[in-house]
Chains A and B, each alone.
Chain A
Amino acid sequence: MFEDSGAGGPAGGAGVGPLPGGAFEGVVHASGVEIGVADAVEAPTEQLDVSVIVPVQSPEAEVADVARALGNELDAQGRTWEIIFVFDGVRGTAWNHVQELRARLGPKIKTILFKNAFGESVCLSAAYERALGRVLLTSPQYVQVDPLELGPMLAEMDKGADFVIPWRHPRVDPVLNRIQSSLFNWVIRRIIRGEFNDLNCYFRLIRREVLDDIPIYGDMYRFLPVIAYRQGYKVFEIKVRHLKEWGKAGFFGVGVYLRRFLDILAVMFLTKFTLKPLRFFGTLGGIFALMGSAVCALLAFQKLAYAEPLSGKPMLLLGVLLIVLGVQIIGFGLVGEIIIFSQARNLKEYRVERIYE
């Protein structure tokens, strides 16, 4: 057990000793305080080619298969690598498998154990803080995509892509799921105008700098390629062979669809209007106020031209209500502007790659 915890290396900065039952790189407590301080983490000195990040959310996760498939392929590509398993509040048999892997592969296997389930975004950012790779590969907890596809994906990366995402082209999961998924991607394409066909597959290659720039939280994990694309990074999509799919077939609960919809709205707002809230609220409120004014103008015209009395006309109420609604929305935009301006000093809008003196 001592050797195990010693294998932690430079990443064991969490300051939490090994708990009974296994050794950890770092244990993030339910408070999640440690997550919020990405800036405080210094850039790792030693660098690898690829860090594989696997969020483990099921006790039966096929961690050994994932490690074997990806490890072999990365070796075949001649890349140095590590695999970080982030246990998202679960342990089960997967935990034992990872311990065996650690015994066999040593520091190439790292683990992060959360006491509670925090979701994929937190998994990714916790692993990102500890990863040594120049390129991060996120992988689902089972072999979802043919590992042979790694070659072409890494080749795209070498050609200068910042983000390579897969498109499971001939999909093997149930038809109903496929229809829902393509509907979702279609909506995203309409709203955000990025040409992505498959945002629901997490077998993704990300250049480290992208995550330096883009904070990940909530459900933003899914939309990371879209956000990166909107921020000007080069995002490529390539077709991959789909091997299998976990997850249940059929429809999800209503809550899932609602959340997805709100996420889309949030992404649209965040990618376009973060610094200019008034452009969003002002346009929206302006439309309502204009509609209300049109209604009121119509009534005023009727009153003046045909002497129709205003009394007893609910239409007037509708017009006034619309104007009030529009003005309120614009008011929210104004407060948003004040908030952004008062924080302007903390917002650095740009990142310098290099200064040539």
Chain B
Amino acid sequence: MVPIFNEEESLAILHGEIAAALGSMEVPWEVIYVDDCSRDHSLRVMLELRRSDAHVRVVKFRRNYGQTAALSAGFDQAAGELVVTLDGDLQNDPADIPAMVAKLEEGYDIVAGWRRRREDGFFLRRLPSRIANRLIAWVTDVPIHDTGCTLKVFRSELVKSMSIYAEQHRFLPAMSAGSGARIAELVVNHRPRRYGQSKYGLGRATRVLLDLFSIKLIVHFSQRPLHYFGMISLSFLAVGMFFAAVGLISLDPDPEAQTAVGPIAINDLELVLVSSVTLVFILMVFFALLGLLGELAVKASGMHRRGTLSRILNELH
């Protein structure tokens, strides 16, 4: 399954390589090219390929929807037991597919490619990507070195039971690991770009960071948002208590006030301190309420009852 966007030159070569790799495996196969409304002649090339090779299927989008949409369309259309995703720009080597499938047969649900030796510029592509991958691995607890690599092999039950949107494709392993999928990694070949322009650029740092937040939320707490928000809420409680304690300890004993021994009147306290502590407590209440709202949203959607992914994984294992 290959998302295609403006790749007219590479297509023919790519298809030759895919056919060679899959043909050598002696299993029934198909290739789905998803045309993300390319502006060049990619579609025509694909249709010519389809004419000469019965394995080819082409899905044409009505307009440009981006890579995640292309992948999820491919997942919806795929008829195979295993689904391989592949970049259309020839940077992935289809010859790696048989090895990855063999790895999957050892008892994994996802085999992700790892471009150990990348053929991209260091500062613009490799360094940011390495930092991002470390962060993703650390936050999601899924130790994958290279989330950006499109070359991956999935069991189709897995991908068909998930819905991805808004650039989530890179988080697919992380998302399914939350439900107990077994994930392996394999070093794959990475080749320099031969044709066309890279469709990524720098300047996604904040976006990746924020996406990471939401992925963490989705992976670990989508069933019970209250836990997530409750934890945040409790941490604010702790902060508030800390400040309150500090305030009480550092309270300057006022000689006049000391005559009345007993509970400290609130007016003896520093105004600024009291209001800061109050604000932190407000945050605590606010997040507890947000958690309840989240629970409501999840309940209203009926998602908690489905839990399809974990069930399917249970059956698979």
Residue of A nearest to B50 (CB): A356
Contact of B60 among A327, A343, A353 (CB under 8 A): A353
Given contacts A278-B210, A331-B229, could you give 12 more A-B pairs where the C-beta distance is less than 8 Å?
A279-B210, A320-B276, A331-B232, A335-B293, A337-B214, A344-B163, A349-B65, A351-B63, A352-B59, A355-B59, A356-B46, A356-B58
Task: Let me know if B297 and A276 touch, CB within 8 A.
Answer: no
Interface locus among A19-27, A35-43, A173-181, A309-317: A309-317
Instruction: Kindly list chain A residues whose C-beta atoms are within 8 Å of the C-beta of B47.
Output: 356
Convert A68-90 into 0s and 1s, putting 1 for each residue whose CB lies closer than 8 angstroms to a CB of B: 00000000000000000000000
A333–B37 Cα distance when bound, in Å, is 31
Q: For residue A354, which residues in chain B have a CB less than 8 angstroms away from its CB?
A: 59-60
**Would you call A172 an interface residue if the criterion is a C-beta within 8 Å of the partner chain's C-beta atoms?**
no
Q: Is the CB of A349 within 8 A of B165?
A: yes
How many Å from the CB of B205 to the closest CB on chain A? Answer: 12
Interface status of A117 (Cβ within 8 A of chain B): no
A106 vs B57: C-alpha distance when bound (angstroms): 46
Asked if A93 is at the interface (CB within 8 A of a chain B CB), the reply is: no
Q: State the Cβ distance, A356 to closest chain B Cβ, in Å.
A: 4
Within 8 A of A (CB), among B68-106: 68-70, 72-73, 77
Bound Cα distance A356, B58 (Å) = 5
Task: Tell me if B237 is interfacial: C-beta within 8 Å of chain A.
Answer: no
Which one, B37, B60, B207, B217, contacts A337 given CB within 8 A? B217
Min CB–CB distance B186 → chain A (angstroms): 29
Instruction: Please state if B62 and A209 are interface contacts (CB–CB under 8 Å).
Output: yes
Q: Mark B270-281, 1 if CB is under 8 A from A, else 0.
A: 111101100110
Specify the chain A residue showing the minimal Cβ separation from B161: A345
Interface string of A313-348 (1 = CB under 8 A from B): 110110011001001100111110111111111010
B210 touches A283 (CB 8 A): yes
Q: A209: nearest residue on chain B (CB-CB)? A: B62
Q: CB-CB < 8 A to A340: which residues of B?
A: 165
Which 7 residue pairs of A and B lie closest in terms of their CB atoms, listed nearest first? A275-B166, A342-B301, A350-B69, A232-B63, A356-B58, A282-B210, A337-B214
Min CB–CB distance B305 → chain A (angstroms): 11
Q: How many A-B residue pairs have CB under 8 A?
A: 143
Give 15 CB contacts A-B under 8 Å.
Answer: A232-B64, A275-B165, A320-B275, A320-B276, A332-B290, A335-B225, A335-B290, A340-B165, A341-B222, A342-B300, A344-B164, A351-B61, A352-B73, A353-B60, A356-B47
Chain B residues, Cβ within 8 Å of A352: 59-62, 73
Restricting to A182-235, which residues have a CB under 8 Å from any CB of B?
Answer: 209, 213, 231-233
Q: Is A357 an interface residue (CB 8 A)?
A: yes
Asked if A334 and B290 sit within 8 Å, CB to CB, the answer is yes
Contact between A338 and B272 (Cβ–Cβ < 8 Å)? no
Q: Would you give the shortest CB distance from A338 to chain B, in whole angstroms?
A: 4
Q: Is the interface of A mostly helix, strand, loop or mixed?
A: helix
How close is B112's CB to chain A, nearest CB, in angstroms?
A: 22
Complex-state Cα separation, A35 to B301, whole angstroms: 23
CA distance A355 to B59 in the complex (A): 4
Verify if B213 is at the interface (C-beta below 8 Å from A).
Answer: yes
B287 within 8 A of A: yes
CB pair A338–B225 under 8 Å, yes or no, is: yes
A350–B163 contact, CB under 8 A?
Answer: no
List of A residues within 8 angstroms of B293 by Cβ:
335
Chain B residue nearest in CB terms to A232: B63
Known: A328-B286, A344-B165. A338 touches B294 (CB 8 A): yes
B316 interface residue (CB < 8 Å to A):
no
Closest B residue to A338 by beta carbon equals B294
Contacting pair A321 B290 (CB below 8 A): no
Asked if A335 contacts B210 (CB within 8 A), the reply is no
- 8 Å CB contact of A349 from B69, B214, B276: B69
Q: Mark B42-61, 1 if CB is under 8 A from A, else 0.
A: 00001100100000011111
Contacting B at CB under 8 A, from A22-73, are: none
Residue pair B213, A282 in contact (C-beta under 8 Å): yes
Contacts of B65 in A (CB 8 A): 232, 349-351
Q: How far is the CB of B15 from chain A (nearest CB, A)?
A: 14
Q: How far is the CA of A232 from the CA of B47 in the complex (A)?
A: 23
Across the two chains, which residue of chain B brings its CB closest to A330? B213
CB interface residues, B 284-305, toward A, < 8 Å: 286-287, 290, 293-294, 297-298, 300-301, 303
Interface check B283, CB cutoff 8 A? yes
Q: In the bound complex, what is the Cα–Cα distance between A313 and B271 (angstroms)? A: 9
Q: Does B17 contact A (CB under 8 A)?
A: no
Q: Does B218 sit within 8 A of A, measured CB to CB?
A: yes
Nearest neighbor of A324 in chain B, beta-carbon distance: B279
Bits for B251-284, please: 1 = Cβ < 8 Å to A, else 0: 0000000000000000000111101100110110
- The answer on a CB contact under 8 Å between A316 and B276 is yes
Q: Does B206 reach chain A (CB closer than 8 Å)?
A: yes
Q: Are B229 and A349 interface neighbours, CB within 8 A?
A: no
Would A328 and B163 count as touching, CB distance under 8 A? no
Contact of B272 among A317, A334, A357 (CB under 8 A): A317
Known: A317-B275, A347-B163, A356-B60. A339 touches B297 (CB 8 A): yes
Chain A, residue nearest B298 (CB): A342
How far is B35's CA from A315's CA once the two chains are assembled, in angstroms?
A: 56
